[in-house]
A and B are shown apart, each in its own frame.
Chain A
Amino acid sequence: MFLNQQAVDLSIVFVAHQAQLRRTALRILRNPERAEDVVQDAYLKVTEAADVLNIKQPLAYLLQMVRNLAIDCHRRAAFEVGLFEREEEGLHVPALMGAPEATAISRQHLTLIAHALSELPERTRRVFELHRLDGHTHCAIASKLDISTSLVNILIHDAIDHCRAALRSN
């Protein structure tokens, strides 16, 4: 109970100081989109942390977390630059891999997806979740559920096809 209370407090502090946390990330990254991503990562960490410590200075703790994540992100970005340049050079058209706007997520689409997933047969949904959300390989899923790897692949395709149809019907 006590620990839960702490967790709630931390997320409240987070939301209250969102702007300051974002500025902290922005100062390190100099890129508003990456800064936003870092702030969101930090938020996920705060909400998902299983062992919330007794944090005496929650804001200082959050600021340090955002700084650390921003520095990590900065290093990663430097590493990725090579990859992205190569992709963009190959494609010559805006709005695909290097342009996240192409896949901006709408709440409406999320609702449609939620509904589509609930319509899937149980086994299909299970296979799909193991693959997409839990990161299991085809082989691992096949042996876990005692089905063939080719059936695993078919069921994953079925799930994606069904979600696509749901989005298109809108």
Chain B
Amino acid sequence: MTDSQREDTVWQTAVERIIRKHEWPLDDTAENELIAWLKNDPAHRAAYEEASHVWLLLVWFRTLKKNSHLLLFSRLPKIAVRAN
């Protein structure tokens, strides 16, 4: 596998994990497995963070479109992955 193929696989895995977590809350086994995957390689973490960021932006885009007053707040919400 080339570097870019490997990077793509990691990215797709990160996205898949986020989609799954969104669809169904993780049980303990799945949660531990996710943590193990994240610890396994800094690239996994980086991909997961990036995917989480995209994921969260997508919801805030709609919320802000409906509630432009939110822009008056001192900061936009800091939402962690737990928001999923």
Contact = CB atoms under 8 A, between A and B. Distances in A.
Interface of A: 11, 15, 18, 33, 36-37, 39-40, 43-44, 47-48, 80, 83-84, 87, 90-93, 95-107, 109-110, 113-114, 117, 128, 131-133, 137-138, 153, 156-157, 160-161, 163-164, 167
A156 B65 CA distance: 21
A160 B76 contact: no
Given A47-B69, A48-B67, A97-B80, 18 more contacts: A11-B69, A15-B69, A18-B72, A18-B73, A37-B78, A43-B69, A47-B66, A47-B67, A87-B35, A92-B39, A100-B78, A103-B78, A103-B80, A113-B61, A117-B58, A138-B23, A163-B58, A167-B57
A51 B74 CA distance: 28
User: Across chains A and B, which 4 residue pairs bring their CB atoms closest together, nearest first?
Assistant: A100-B78, A90-B35, A100-B80, A105-B76
Interface of B: 11-12, 15-16, 19, 22-23, 32, 35, 38-39, 45, 48-67, 69-82
B78 A133 contact: no
Contacts of B81: 96-97, 103
Interface of B is mostly: helix
Given A15-B72, A156-B19, A163-B58, A40 B77 contact: yes
B57 to A, nearest CB: 5
Given A103-B52, A114-B61, A164-B51, A93 B80 contact: no
Contact of A91 (B19, B38, B59, B70): B38
Contact of B75 (A36, A113, A128): A36
Contacts, number: 131
A9 to B, nearest CB: 13
B67 to A, nearest CB: 5
Contact of B57 (A33, A105, A128): A105
A133 B69 contact: no
Contacts of A137: 23
Contact of B77 (A11, A37, A98): A37
